[in-house]
Amino acid sequence: MAKPLILVSNDDGITSRGIRLLVNVMKELGEVVVVAPDGPQSGMGHAITIGNTLRLEPNDLFGDVKAYECSGTPADCVKIAKHFVLKDRKPDLVVSGINHGSNTSISVLYSGTMSAAIEASLEGLPAIGFSLCDYSSDADLSHVSEYVKRIAKNVLDKGLTKGVALNVNFPPKRNESIRGIKICRQANATWQEDFDQRHDPNGRRYFWMAGNFVNHDKGEDNDEWAIANNYVSVVPCQYDMTAHHAILHLNEDWDDIS
């Protein structure tokens, strides 16, 4: 029986620690092919390259695993993997990550990690984005492998609803073991930006964006609650952004439409 074909990508770049761990876990589940950015692409969202060239080069970083580094965005990587690298072969699973930093709540919209997964779901492929909620330079990944494998195996064995990608976030390594997995919703939270105005050595003004993450959600069924309480959060995401509940309101209240 043929092994499942698993495509691996990310947004932190092909040399990141997170993708190395993800590749090693996926090798236990199937045949792995890697197509990942040649450098960091964090915060790129679902950007694609349309006005510049795309470059794709083989990379032997993962030994016997076929791997390529791409000059484009995470979404570019999934596109070129499906339509060029794999050609007529259809991946059984696409995984992205493991991201160095949280992709809970509203961050899913900005995330290159999740954009790779959502691009795969646009192509009708089961997909998962994995992120670790720890921004420290020496973030400990040792507690996530068993959960990466468990979640990926469930998707391989049982499938996903078409058009759905899973946004999986891991709590940082703590003194207690992870308490389990929570299937939950995206928390109602926002970023409150602050732009620090500075000047370069030539006196020209520039800005440095900073800000604070503000959680407005008091529920116990969302990803922020799960991470705070040492659970792995799993949020099913879709690319249809239609506000279906607003259609009736607009049709009833707007004038001069027919």
What tens digit of pLDDT does each residue of 122-133 get? 999 999 999 999
Averaged pLDDT for residues 173-185: 97
User: What would the two tokens of residue 24 be?
Assistant: 């090693």
Averaged pLDDT for residues 151-165: 97
Global pTM value: 0.94
What does the alpha-carbon distance between residue 22 and residue 67 come to, in Å, rounded to a whole number? 13
222 is in an annotated binding site: no
Domain 5-187+219-253 architecture: 3-Layer(aba) Sandwich (3.40)
99 is in an annotated binding site: yes
Cβ-contact 205, 199 below 8 angstroms: yes
Alpha helices (H) along 67-166:
74-80, 112-122, 145-158
Which pLDDT score is estimated for 130?
A: 98
Which pLDDT score is estimated for 169?
A: 98
Averaged pLDDT for residues 172-190: 96
140 is in an annotated binding site: no
Domain ranges of the chain: 5-187+219-253
Q: Is 257 exposed, middle or buried (0-12, 13-18, 19+ CB in 10 A)?
A: exposed
What does the alpha-carbon distance between residue 236 and residue 161 come to, in Å, rounded to a whole number? 9
User: What would the two tokens of residue 93 be?
Assistant: 């699973």
11 is in an annotated binding site: yes
Which pLDDT score is estimated for 258?
A: 65
Which pLDDT score is estimated for 83?
A: 96
What tens digit of pLDDT does each residue of 223-235 get? 999 999 999 999 9
